[in-house]
Amino acid sequence: MSLEITTTPSASPRSDEDVARVLEDPGFGTTFTDHMLQVTWTPDDGWHDARITAYGPLSLDPATAVLHYAQETFEGMKAYRHADGSVWTFRPEENAARMVRSSHRLALPVLEPDDFVRCVDALVEVDQRWVPDAAGEKSLYLRPFMFASEAFLGVRPSQHVTFMVIASPAGSYFKGGLTPLRLWLTEDYTRAGRGGMGAAKTGGNYASSLVAQQEAMAHGCDQVVFLDVAEGRYVEELGGMNMYFVYADGSIVTPETGTILEGITRSAIIDLAHKKGHKVEERRFGVDEWREGVASGEITEVFACGTAAVVTPVGTLQWDGGEVSGAATEEAGPLTKEIRQDLVDIQYGRADDGFGWMHRVL
Ligand SMILES: *Cc1c(COP(=O)(O)O)cnc(C)c1O
């Protein structure tokens, strides 16, 4: 049975002038739309009471389980406005399926993918005036999330769970635009081991990455790169982005899945690169291969990808005691730019979506 969603419009929505002013320079993740969506789960009633109401603070009991044991999962996706005014999301069923996998790992209940997509669509529809024009590659960032909302300090899966969707207009994620990143290779911290929750999109992975990110910034770097737990030799990913390495012969390597987050952008890039005739290998990729490949010129481009930042070039890898910069240190390399353009052209409806990736909301 699919969820029935009720809507109670906000009594004090932002004025059209206010919204227009925000959309001119939305930044990232600081301003939220007029409404939010909320659904409740209990063992007896399953998912029920799906409602869209005015955006506002939640009232939580101090014993709410998520505040103590971090039982939560989330997703990140965007709504794009096309030139004809229509509004679309990108592969939302993939986000829905990933939330099911993440929730399984965090012992949270399953929200059926159809219901997930309907909830996201419903909020976008109610707050459609917050979806920016395509100009400047702006979008409405969507944040579905699920958390343990039972007030109980014992350690067991929560018997009361809340799923929510909130939305926030977004400009470019990195203020510097397409300037290549300087990455810090952390040798003190890791993000996920075998049997851990590295493949789940859960706040705990981000909590554990923050100190490493601080270390990166203290060394003058933009982002941190993590290596595998077992041997400390293989490249995993950044705090919130997957990685790609482009060779001079046009072949591409990306770290295999398992302990990394299975990015939807990552998988789209594999398909796009195949379509352009590139060989793509998903395999373990040693940090020594990175250092040596860049130094010898065998690796010509390095980039990172994710929904928020799309595709971002990597210029320099720095570690305790050295650094190596590739050919594309001052600006993005040609394939990085091409793949980024191919992807955003599909997302904004400027290129044919031969993959069936786009989902029309309005
Ligand atoms: C969300 C996320 C990504 C990127 O995934 P996309 O589906 O491409 O947005 C990469 N790494 C981590 C740790 C993430 O949480």
State the Cα–Cα distance between residues 141 and 154, nearest whole angstrom. 35
Task: Write out the H or E segment, with its range, that includes residue 300.
Answer: strand 299-306
The protein residue whose alpha carbon is closest to atom 12 in ligand 1 is 240
Burial 131-157 (b: 16+ CB within 10 A, else e): bbebeeebbbbbbbbbbbbbebeeeee
The CATH number covering residue 247 comes to 3.20.10.10
Pocket test for ligand 1, best of 89, 93, 241 (most atoms within 8 A of CB): 241
Question: Domain boundary at 170, 197, 222, which?
Answer: 170
Share of residues in the chain with pLDDT > 70 (%):
98
- Do 200 and 339 have their domain in common? yes
| pLDDT tens track for 206-255 | 999 999 999 999 999 999 999 999 999 999 999 999 999 999 999 999 99
Residue 147 CA to ligand 1 centre (angstroms): 19
Q: What is the DSSP letter of 230?
A: T
Tokens (6 digits) for 54: 């005015």
- Do 242 and 139 have their domain in common? no
Q: Compute φ and ψ for 179, nearest 5 degrees.
A: -70, 130
Tokens (6 digits) for 115: 């219901």
Pairing verdict, β 322-325 and 358-360: unpaired
- Do 52 and 155 have their domain in common? yes
Q: How far is CA 210 from CA 57, 132, 199, 238, 240, in A?
A: 25, 30, 18, 11, 11
State the Cα–Cα distance between residues 42 and 62, nearest whole angstrom. 19
Please check whether residue 358 lies inside any domain of the structure. no
> What is residue 177's predicted lDDT score, i.e. its pLDDT?
64
State the Cα–Cα distance between residues 340 and 348, nearest whole angstrom. 12
- Do 20 and 166 have their domain in common? yes
Residue type at 316 in one-letter notation: T
Please check whether residue 97 lies inside any domain of the structure. yes
Pocket test for ligand 1, best of 307, 311, 339 (most atoms within 8 A of CB): 307
> What is residue 336's predicted lDDT score, i.e. its pLDDT?
96
> What is residue 326's predicted lDDT score, i.e. its pLDDT?
80
> What is residue 134's predicted lDDT score, i.e. its pLDDT?
82
- Do 97 and 134 have their domain in common? yes
Residue 77 CA to ligand 1 centre (angstroms): 10
> What is residue 173's predicted lDDT score, i.e. its pLDDT?
67
> Counting atoms of ligand 1 from 1, which one is nearest the CA of 305?
8
Whole-structure pTM value: 0.96
Structural domain for 270, as ranges? 181-347
**Ligand 1 pocket, residue 261 CB under 6 Å:** yes
Q: What is the mean pLDDT of the chain?
A: 95
- Do 52 and 130 have their domain in common? yes
Total domain count, the chain: 2
Comparing CA positions, the residue from 265, 44, 242, 7 lying closest to residue 159 is 44
Q: How far is CA 187 from CA 46, 172, 219, in A?
A: 44, 30, 13
Tokens (6 digits) for 236: 């995993």
> What is residue 136's predicted lDDT score, i.e. its pLDDT?
83
* Greatest pairwise CA separation for the chain in angstroms: 62
| pLDDT tens track for 110-124 | 999 999 999 999 999
Report, as ranges of residue numbers, the positions in the chain whose pLDDT lies below 50: none
> What is residue 175's predicted lDDT score, i.e. its pLDDT?
60
